[in-house]
Every structure is written in structure tokens, then in C-alpha cells.
Structure 1
Amino acid sequence: MNLKTEITLIRSCRRTLAIELRPDSTLLVRAPRRLSLKEIHRFILGHESWITRKKAELASRPEPAKKQFLEGEEFPVQGQSCRLKLVESASSCVNLSGNRLVFPIQLLPTARESLTKWYREYARSYITDRVRHYARIMACCPSSLRITSPRRRWGSCGPADSLNFNWRLVMAPPEIIDYVVVHELAHIRYKHHGPEFWRFVGAYFPGHKNARRWLKDHGHQLDF
């Protein structure tokens, strides 16, 4: 294969092979546990033209402009544009007030780090609440919950049923956040992406296909 591409292989009890090109141009391949590497390699080779085309599509996407942290600049919170309000304040805390992100000017030298910290704290509070809500109705209890900073995924469920969520997820609309929460909670019961898994997800979030499509189309914009 002529493509220089990093590949992550995930084996599970699924019965079919699946391939996905991530936003960072790496490949995610899902395969049955006992399938040989030779067969997996043949499967990837068979998708070489698809991979090339998808990489070209990714490369043509405009990168979100880096924020300058200027008065009135917009930042997404739960899918809504919130304008930055620079203030002189004795407090060194960022606050959300209506549709304004109130940002103390003394934090400007470390603006990106300070706002990232605020987003992480906001994500921890909001996502924890949504996990509790769905965990109760889905009867899926996670062992722990962490807010992380991966570039490659929005959430994950560990072997011990620990849930991890990307802090950038709270930039997305509420229904997209809920989809990722339901998706990861469903992995507590099903450690694969087989038909049973998707039926279970669909029972609690019928719009999962639209949510997945939204993340593929717009997920790269959730950053600053």
C-alpha cells in the first residue's frame, strides 16, 4: 500500500470489518477478534482509492480560524455562539452569562489555556449531569467519568466501564452531546458496534445516524 497512513486496529466480537478515516487522517479499522492480519491488510488495500478520496476531502476542508481573544469574538457553547466580553475584574475566573463569555483581561497572556480550563470544568459539570440522566434510564452504570483532551475521538468506554469524554464536545449542540453520552454508556453493555449495540443506542437516541453525520461534517470546527 502506497499510502503512508497510521492505522489503529480494534478487535472485538463483531462479525464484519469496518474502516473509518479520522479527522487527523489516521485510519481506524475494526475487525473480528480472530481475523488474520493478512485478511485485514487485504481489506485495507481494497479500500485504497476510497482512502485517497477521503483524504483529499479532508485536506480541502477549511481549518477553523485561530481565535485572537478579541472583544466580541464568538465561541460555541452547547451549539450557541457566545461572545467574548473582556472585563477588568478582581476575579480570575471565566464565567458564562447568558450568551456572553465574561473573560478577565488579566488572563489574556494565557487566554487559550484559561479558556480551555473553563471549557473542561463546564464539560465536567454538564456531561456528568447527562451521564447520570441516561445511566439511570439505560441501567448502565459507569465506574468513573473523566474529561480528556484527545484529538481522535469524542468519547470512549474503557474495559472497566470507565467513560472518557473530550472537553470539546460541549461546543456541540445538546443533542449531539447526548448522542455521544448514550453511545458510550451503551458500550458498558455491548463492547462492540454490532447490530445489538446500535439497536440499544437507537432505543434511547433514535436520531443517532444524524448525530454521527453531524460530528463527521462539523466536528473539526469544535476547537479554537
Structure 2
Amino acid sequence: MSVIIHTTQDGCTIKFHLRRTARKNIIVRVASASMLSVNIPPFVSLKQLQQWFGANEMALKRLWQQSKTIKTELPNTIWYRGQRFSYTFAKGLSAVQWYQQQGFLLPETSEASALDILRTWLRQCAQTELISRLQYWALVMQQQPASMALTQARTFWGVCRRRTGIRLNWRLIGAPAFVVDYVCIHELCHLRYANHGRDFWAMVAKYTAKTHDARLWLKQHGSELFALDNVR
């Protein structure tokens, strides 16, 4: 994800987080305080995007003004690997640091910037740790999905499709290991059983005895894993 800037005809400078997606349309939303996000199809060039900005400046300026009114405030604690950790701002840092005892050390900058830096750091950890765990269980269970990736979805923890593979919600980086394992096992079992019938749950039980505990943890704490999404 990169940042691009568009200057309107009357001199207003608007910042965008740029992300390429498989969707066919250009989509602009308020991303954070004084920042918009723009999702563009892979076939749209940066020159074409700037032309599109120029043709839609009025709408973009309205969104830009909305972004400036957003209050950015980090939650008191951050979920990571099944525990809540506090955070402090430290001078001289350019990246997030995490320690089991101290919690998170964040670069001393605006809260909006710190939020973006922390989200990026957590997503990178999720890419490494969650996919590694999914690969482990795929090997143990001898179930190989077409692909393995993360998703930003807000409505499910994992999804399995035979043709496109398994997607895990990146926010599971905040959950305990037994919860991550359960979601991985659950989705891998869908490669054999598409529904949630008796055979499906029997297969899940073969690889984890913590289905009830994992589902209960997600019911109790799942919404808290979206805390950083609720701050913009």
C-alpha cells in the first residue's frame, strides 16, 4: 500500500492510501484522520487515476473535509497473541517494537500515524504467523487448499473455497494460539466437507479438542479484535 497525493485546481492537497484490488471500479473512502483510501483495478494507471481525481474533485473534497473531523484515539490496550498489551510512545523509534513484559513501543508521532504504523505491523505479523500455522495444519491433515492468504473481512474469521483457497482474517493475530488453530482446522475440514454436518464436526474433533473453548473465546472477545478498525 502506498501514499499518493492529488492537488486540486484550487490548491487543496489530498492524501490517499492507494491499494489495487480485483474490483472493476475505483472506490474512495475516508481511511483515517486527514487521509482517504482509494482502491483501483489493476488495469488503471496512475495517470488515469489522476485524471479521474480531476473529474471528481468536488466529491473528493467533501470526503477530505470529513476526514479532518474524525477523532483518532487508540484503545487502551492492544490484543496480540491472545493477550492484551499496553503501549507507550518512545522517541527515536521509526518502527513498532514489542516486548512480552513492556508491551508495545510506538514511534512518538501523531496518533493517526501511530495507528497506521501499528496496523501495518500487526498485518505483517499476521501474514507470517497465521499463514505459517495454516501451512502446518494443511501438512498434518493432508489437505492442500488452492492458495492461502489473509482477508480484511469484518464478517467471518475464515473462508474456504475449493477454487480460490483459504482466507484467514488478519485480526486473528490478536487471538490465542488455540483459537487460530481451531479456525485453520475448521477451514481445512471444509475442503472435504462443504457443510457443517456430523462428518464435518467429527473431522474437526479429530484434530482439536478445543472447539468449544475457541468458539466461546471468539464470542466473548472477537469484537475486541476489531478495535483498531473502529478508530480512524
Could you state the TM-score of these two structures normalised by the residue count of structure 2? 0.61
| Counterpart position of 1:48 | none
Provide closer, same or farther for how the CA distance between residues 161 and 187 of structure 1 changes in structure 2, counting only shifts above 3 A: farther
- Give SS of 2:105's match: strand
- Corresponding position: 1:178 with 2:181: yes
| Counterpart position of 1:97 | 99
| Counterpart position of 2:73 | 68
Displacement after TM superposition at 1:67 (Å) = 8.0
Q: Percent identity between the aligned chains?
A: 32
| Counterpart position of 2:167 | 164
| CA shift digits 1:95-137 (9 cap, x unpaired) | 2222421211136332332222111111111111211221111
Displacement after TM superposition at 1:90 (Å) = 5.1
Provide closer, same or farther for how the CA distance between residues 179 and 87 of structure 1 changes in structure 2, counting only shifts above 3 A: same
CA distance in 2, matches of 1:127, 1:162: 15
- Corresponding position: 1:132 with 2:135: yes
- Corresponding position: 1:122 with 2:122: no
Counterpart contact for 1:107–1:114, Cα < 8 Å: no
Residue identity opposite 1:74 in structure 2: T
Where in structure 1 do 4 or more consecutive aligned residues deviate above 6 Å? Answer: none
The gaps in structure 2 that reach 5 residues or longer are 1-70, 228-232
Could you state the TM-score of these two structures normalised by the residue count of structure 1? 0.63
Counterpart contact for 2:93–2:108, Cα < 8 Å: no
After the TM superposition, which of the residue ranges 195-204 and 209-218 deviates more from structure 2?
A: 209-218
Residue identity opposite 1:97 in structure 2: Y
Displacement after TM superposition at 1:161 (Å) = 5.2
1:200 to 194, 198, 203: 203
| Counterpart position of 1:18 | none
Counterpart contact for 1:146–1:163, Cα < 8 Å: yes
The gaps in structure 1 that reach 5 residues or longer are 1-65
> Across the two proteins, how many residue pairs are aligned to each other?
156
- Give SS of 1:185's match: helix
Provide closer, same or farther for how the CA distance between residues 75 and 159 of structure 1 changes in structure 2, counting only shifts above 3 A: same
CA distance in 2, matches of 1:185, 1:86: 40
| CA shift digits 1:113-169 (9 cap, x unpaired) | 222211111111111121122111100112222211111101111231511111111
Counterpart contact for 1:202–1:208, Cα < 8 Å: yes
Provide closer, same or farther for how the CA distance between residues 208 and 67 of structure 1 changes in structure 2, counting only shifts above 3 A: farther
CA distance in 1, matches of 2:161, 2:85: 33
CA distance in 2, matches of 1:107, 1:89: 14
- Give SS of 1:181's match: helix
1:13-24 map, 5 Å? none
More relative contact order, 1 or 2 (CA 8 Å, 6+ apart): 1
Provide closer, same or farther for how the CA distance between residues 107 and 191 of structure 1 changes in structure 2, counting only shifts above 3 A: farther
Counterpart contact for 1:149–1:167, Cα < 8 Å: yes
Residue identity opposite 1:68 in structure 2: E
Provide closer, same or farther for how the CA distance between residues 133 and 67 of structure 1 changes in structure 2, counting only shifts above 3 A: farther
| Counterpart position of 1:61 | none
